[in-house]
Structure 1
Amino acid sequence: MARKIPSRSGTAVSNEDRLARSRQFATSATKYAAFNQSTAAVVATEGLAANSVDEKEPRKGEQAASAETARINSGVSTQPLGDDACSNSTGGQSRTYYVRIGAEDQARIEALAERSGLDPDYVRRALVKAVRARMQKLRNTATWHEVASAARPRLAESKGTGAPFMKSMIRLDAAHVAALQTSIDDPLKVYGVTQLLSAFGKALLRSEIEELAQQISGIEARAARPDPA
């Protein structure tokens, strides 16, 4: 007998039903090309199983470059390190940053997962991947200022605000750090690099959740329209 998973409405949803909804949503995403390239590649994967994200990955040592894969709590999964964080290139230093999530954003993720028929942890993995990619882009293009206004309020939050969501690493040299500090208007270096990176990570996570919500809404709206004769 298929294991039943309780839904928000109180009715039971089988794994087979969840899988069918996931494939239907992926088909709509492919048909209308509403997801961006990175999200579409994740959502459209064939043969997705609802519990496939339950795989456990071993922890790595803090000194190893692959420490990015460590879980920061028992309920959060992370992806392997990107090539940048693992590279042996000279110059720069690998910096670790942490991203926490508030109850409101956590609830939105769960609601979006239910709407799309995807497992919540699977959606979290996609968001983690997107945040990492955005952080690398900001570093490579020196465009931290584009997110600074959203990241600045995060610096005023108490340490440990929100639940652990992700832990990652990024390689920064002196020029990267200077650009980061300048973008956030920290000439006296009041904030540590890790604190600044975490603030940007929180801002990017909120942005990615908003983007995902808009993409899902767009797909639902287009799928509801009758096909032209």
Structure 2
Amino acid sequence: MARKIPNRSGTAVSNEDRLARSRQFATSATKYAAFNQSTAAAVATEGPAVNSVDEKEPRKGQQAASAETARIDPGVSTQPLADDACSNSTETQSRTYYVRIGAKDKARIDALAERSGLGLDYVQRALVKEVRARMQKLRDTATWHEVASAARPRLTEPKGTGAPFMKSMIRLDAAHAAVLQMSIDDPLNVYGVTQLLSAFGKAVLRSEIEELARKISGIEARAVRPDPA
């Protein structure tokens, strides 16, 4: 006869009942272990594929950081440094230069305006136009050396020598500036581009005053010429 063993709750449990329960626990444990092994194998198989997708696509955190950097400092370029270097190598800059005029040249302009009867303002505007055109031609043809001998003495004049005559702008890229600087004997790079432009502008102005005097002389000659009829 099977022996009844009382359990803690006070209900008698037979040895057969204990054996049956042990077998149920063992079966459940075996099924649970098999399920865990199949799940682990599936995770091990799918893991590399998920990682490869992450490697191909940029991380959201990196995109957010780049956007935040661009928002705070718009000057930071998102392009490679090589692209920036290429764009800067051909950059053209507008250079402003001032031309002053000496007392002798100013007196000569006044005399030419009075002699021609064209008016001082009109004569000065004509000179400014010619100086600008000549400076641009020197830039385009790279012939600064033709005026260098006349411009060089202007570089040694004290700053502010002469009365203000004109202010102008000219566009120069790196190649233009290099040719301009090479036209002057300046191996130690003492003079800046703006200073050189001003010196050349003074030299060109004096040359254009001479040209203006010849034009006015031609106008006067035609005026006194007798009528062929």
- Verify same fold: TM over 0.5: yes
Q: Does 1:164 align with 2:181?
A: no
Normalised TM-score (structure 2): 0.59
Q: Does 1:139 align with 2:128?
A: no
Distance (whole Å) between structure 2 residues aligned to residue 178 and residue 189 of structure 1: 11
Residue in 1 that maps onto 2:187: 187
In the TM superposition, residue 221 of structure 1 has moved relative to its aligned partner by: 2.0
Q: Which has the higher helix share?
A: 2
1:206-225 aligned within 5 A: 206-225=206-225
Deviation at 1:223, TM superposition (A): 2.3
The SS at the match of 2:98 is strand
SS in structure 1 of the partner of residue 160 of structure 2 = coil
Q: Say whether the 8 Å CA contact 1:99–1:167 is kept in structure 2.
A: yes
Match of 1:91 in 2: 91
Matched, 1:117 2:117: yes
After TM superposition, give the deviation of residue 137 of structure 1 in Å.
Answer: 0.6
Match of 2:205 in 1: 205
Aligned partner of 1:39 in structure 2 is none
Aligned-residue CA RMSD in angstroms? 1.2
Q: Distance in 2 between matches of 1:158 and 1:218?
A: 37
Which residue in the other structure is 2:108 paired with?
108
Aligned partner of residue 149 in structure 1, secondary structure: helix
1:128 to 2:128 alignment: yes
Rounded to whole Å, the distance in 2 between the matches of 1:199 and 1:215 is 25
Q: Distance in 1 between matches of 2:225 and 2:171?
A: 46
CA distance in 1, matches of 2:92, 2:188: 21
Q: TM-score, normalised by structure 1?
A: 0.59
Alignment check: 8 A CA contact 1:181 1:187 kept: no
Contact 1:100 1:164 in 2 (8 A): yes
The question of whether the paired residues in 2 share the 8 Å contact of 1:101 and 1:165 is answered with yes
- Aligned residue for 1:109, secondary structure, equals helix
Task: Report whether the alignment pairs 1:175 with 2:175.
Answer: yes
**1:187 Cα deviation (Å)?**
2.5
Structure 1 unpaired stretches of 5+: 1-89
Supply the distance in 2 between the matched residues of 1:188 and 1:101 (Cα, whole angstroms): 28
Instruction: Kindly state the Cα deviation for residue 108 of structure 1 after the two structures are TM-superposed.
Output: 0.9
Q: Which has the larger radius of gyration?
A: 2
The CA distance in 1 between the partners of 2:139 and 2:111, in whole Å, is 32
Q: Within 5 Å, which residues of 2 pair with 1:5-154?
A: 91-154=91-154
Q: Deviations over 1:122-142 (max 9, x none)?
A: 211111111011111100110
Shift of residue 182 of structure 1? 0.8
Structure 1, residues 92-127: CA drift from partner, whole Å, max 9, x if none?
111110000011111111111111112201211111
- Which stretches of structure 1, 4 residues or longer, exceed 4 Å deviation after superposition? none
Could you tell me which runs of 5 or more consecutive residues in structure 2 were left unpaired when the two chains were aligned. Answer: 1-89
